[in-house]
Amino acid sequence: MNSMLTPDIAMVVETAIAPIFLLVAIGSLLNVMTSRLGRVVDRVRSLEDGLEAGETGEERARHVDELKTLSRRINYSNRAITLCTVAALLVSVLVAITFFGEITSLPVAAGIALLFVLAMGLLISGLAYFLAEIRVSTRQLRVRHDLFDLPAGND
């Protein structure tokens, strides 16, 4: 490789740092999303075990309703994770194309811009689904007010 390329490559590395930080941020978001999804799946398994064990009456109805809500949360989470993962893949391709364009001197600016816009669109969509999952989960939360009136010594 020509020694004249060294400063150019250094400039490309500097240019690629912003998308790399974006990848780190998306990775952090994916970590949060997958952790939430794991907790939901654990709760689903617990409720399903109870239903299979023969729960009846009001408790069964409450658990079936909760399972329906958890199913919605799983769907939103899966969509959010998928969209954010594809966004991260596009950012990775963007970084690779940035280097490829520098090494080959091919015009890649339009491709880089398109990939960035697509990645941002996917990230926005993924975050919207994540927000929807959070809204469903907060609506599901219910404070059991009947527990507030427990006899003394049960706190």
Over the stretch 40-94, which tens digit does the pLDDT of each residue have? 999 999 999 988 888 788 888 889 999 999 999 999 999 999 999 999 999 999 9
Q: How much is the pLDDT for 1?
A: 46
What's the rounded mean pLDDT across residues 16-29?
92
Q: How much is the pLDDT for 6?
A: 65
- Residue 129 is assigned to a structural domain of this protein: yes
Residues 6+ apart with CB under 8 A from 137: 36, 73
What's the rounded mean pLDDT across residues 127-155?
81
For the chain, the domain total comes to 1
- Residue 82 is assigned to a structural domain of this protein: yes
Residues 6+ apart with CB under 8 A from 111: 97
Q: How much is the pLDDT for 154?
A: 55
- Residue 149 is assigned to a structural domain of this protein: no
Percentage, residues of the chain above pLDDT 90:
63
Q: b/e map of 117-135 (b: 16 or more CB within 10 Å)? A: ebbeebbebbbebbebbee
Q: How much is the pLDDT for 136?
A: 95
- Residue 147 is assigned to a structural domain of this protein: no
Residue 152 has pLDDT above 80, yes or no: no
Of the candidates 92, 155, 143, 101, the one whose C-alpha atom is nearest the C-alpha of residue 122 is 92
- The dihedrals phi and psi of 55, each to the nearest 5 degrees, come to -60, 145
Residue 23: domain span: 5-140
- Residue 153 is assigned to a structural domain of this protein: no
- Residue 148 is assigned to a structural domain of this protein: no
Residues in the chain: 155
Percentage, residues of the chain above pLDDT 70:
90
Q: Name the residue with tokens 């469903």.
A: 136
- What are the tokens at 44? 């689903």
Read off the pTM.
Answer: 0.82
- Residue 151 is assigned to a structural domain of this protein: no
Quote the CA–CA distance of 107 and 126 in Å, as a whole number.
30
- What are the tokens at 9? 């490559």
Of the ranges 57-61, 111-115, 123-127, which one carries the lowest mean pLDDT score?
Answer: 57-61
- Residue 87 is assigned to a structural domain of this protein: yes
